[in-house]
Structure 1
Amino acid sequence: MRGTTVTDQDRPAGDGEVAGVVPAEEVALVARAVAGEGGALEEVVRRLRDPLYRLALRMVWRPADAEDAAQEILIRVITRLATWRAEARLLTWAYRVGVNYLLNLRRKSPQEERELSLDEFRDGLADGLAATNFAGPEAELLATEVRLSCTQAVLQCLDREERVAFVLGDIFGLSSAEAAWVLGTGPAAYRKRLERVRRRLRAYLDATCGLANPGAFCRCERRVEAAVASGRVNARRPVLAGHPVAPGGRGVAEAAAQLRRLRDAAAVLSAHPDYAAPRARTDAVATLLRSGRFPLLD
């Protein structure tokens, strides 16, 4: 798989400030953090840790791998904080650092290793579909886990450049100008890439997923037994349905309600809770930074 390295030198001509105004409060916060104020640095970590973890999770699929990636991204962001010039919001800039890392990550997800296509994934769903809904203990919880796991797996059937384009635009809601800046391309080129991915995903979900199209064949409730048997879902400890949520963030029920209202491809793939980054890992980042082993760049 071809990686893409995004640097300031890669920025297209005319790709200057991203549309919108960077709040003065954000500029002042970063200035204090760069000057060595511990409380400001911890506030920067607090603001960025959950969104960067969710970016990593959408790109690498498994929470354990996302934890590792998010920790590395957060260290890179903080140690490069002095290079931020307020050309974009702090989080948008942090996404740029994170995307650069994730596109070039050597570790591959299981689907990436197998180079699994959307068609092959659909065939696998059809083969493991039960005739009736799962009615065992925790049926609703396990069907939710199947849904969350399946939509993660669908994204892994895209190549990384396609995946990140969809994640930034249709899941995280960045404008085409912001997403293009993150990716180091022009807005028009980004919109074309995103529309190609949307068409592929709409066609796949319309033919496959009962959540997007009631006439499609697949139902989460009928995939539970096969998912548990294959080890994709842990019946005793659902990973995604039981994942901690960020304070004040959207939970499983709220995400499912959004899905029922919208019932389209973007809703199916984005109806996840607002997952929280593991606090022990991000607290460890703050401890390392305070230790002086990772000084901020001047």
Structure 2
Amino acid sequence: MTAITVTADRIKAAQDGDRKALGEVLEGVQDQVHKLSRRILVDPEDAREATQEILILVLTKLSTFRGESAFATWVYRVAVRYLLHSKKIRDRDPGLTFEAFAADLETGLVADPPDAPDHALLLNELRISCTMAILLCLTMELRLAYVLGEIFELEHGEAAEILELAPAAYRKRLSRARSEVVAFTGRHCGLASLSARCLCPRRLPAAIKAGRIVPGHTPNSEGANESYSEVRSRIGTVIDSLKAFRLQQAVPEERCPQDIRAQLTGILSQLA
């Protein structure tokens, strides 16, 4: 998925009311807005709703962009402010903690799991779902710092500007988030540590029984370029301090859902 790359002339034309340019601006930012929403909120429907509302904010606030920062920085700041301050998002926060997640992962593990007909697909779905859920154990502030720094791999100065923090404060926040994710992954994920109890094949039967993984329904792993076995093999070759990072990077990227694109087109068509 490409980064946000909208040219200055199209931004200016959009600010002047050119509907075609407005469409091009939204087209240029929607995938990254959805990627951010998905990694922060995890739940597909919550991410879908947040994406739509953030894109509408970008549309309505576009006139306030003065070029004092990069356009991508401005868009991410609009998104971050929404994610931080939306009452709907606060009310839906699952309140997951590392302690509760660890206990859940170690419940119902089986030593000799049976193979299901779509075993390989379900293992990949479980691997990706669990990797994404780890970030829900972070506070929203730490989660945003981690996603911008580790998953989007933004320069620290840009990430600090997006989060409206001093660079030193951002680095401290990112370091704390990274440490918590690395520590949890190293203790509890069998893909990262041979001593961890939880490994996807051992966990899959309990995840299916609990309804967290549904046979025939693999929304998180659709479009994945690597299988579970390929990721497991690759993660095994990197040093311990990089395993959590590589697992998070192995989550497939999704494009903005087509229905949101259609809704935005409808909104633009109604503009005078």
What is the TM-score normalised by the length of structure 1?
A: 0.81
- In the TM superposition, residue 254 of structure 1 has moved relative to its aligned partner by 8.4
Q: In the alignment, is residue 155 of structure 1 matched against residue 128 of structure 2?
A: no
The aligned counterpart of 1:141 is: 121
**1:111-141 C-alpha deviation (Å, 9 max, x unpaired):** 934x331022111111122212441111111
Q: In the alignment, is residue 277 of structure 1 matched against residue 246 of structure 2?
A: no
Q: 1:103 to 1:89 in 2, by over 3 A?
A: same
**1:85-129 C-alpha deviation (Å, 9 max, x unpaired):** 22333222111101110111223589934x331022111111122
Q: CA RMSD in A?
A: 2.4
Which runs of 5 or more structure 2 residues have no equivalent in the other structure? Answer: none
Amino acid at match of 2:156: S
Amino acid at match of 2:258: R
Q: In the alignment, is residue 96 of structure 1 matched against residue 93 of structure 2?
A: no
Q: In the alignment, is residue 226 of structure 1 matched against residue 199 of structure 2?
A: no
What is the SS of the residue equivalent to 2:88?
Answer: coil
Q: 1:281 to 1:184 in 2, by over 3 A?
A: same
**1:262-283 C-alpha deviation (Å, 9 max, x unpaired):** 4511121231112111111122
Which runs of 5 or more structure 1 residues have no equivalent in the other structure? Answer: 1-21, 246-250
* Equivalent runs, 1:1-298 vs 2, <5 Å: 26-108=7-89, 112-113=93-94, 115-242=95-222, 251-253=224-226, 259=235, 262=238, 264-292=243-271
Distance 2:63 2:183 in 1: 44
Distance 1:254 1:222 in 2: 17
What is the SS of the residue equivalent to 1:223?
Answer: helix
Amino acid at match of 2:265: A
The percent identity for this pair of structures is 35
- In the TM superposition, residue 59 of structure 1 has moved relative to its aligned partner by 1.4
**Number of aligned pairs?**
263
Distance 2:47 2:142 in 1: 19
Distance 2:148 2:88 in 1: 21
**1:236-284 C-alpha deviation (Å, 9 max, x unpaired):** 2111112xx5xxxxx4328965756645111212311121111111221
Distance 2:119 2:52 in 1: 34
What is the SS of the residue equivalent to 1:253?
Answer: coil
Contact 2:83-2:89 at 8 Å conserved across structures = no
Q: 1:40 to 1:260 in 2, by over 3 A?
A: farther
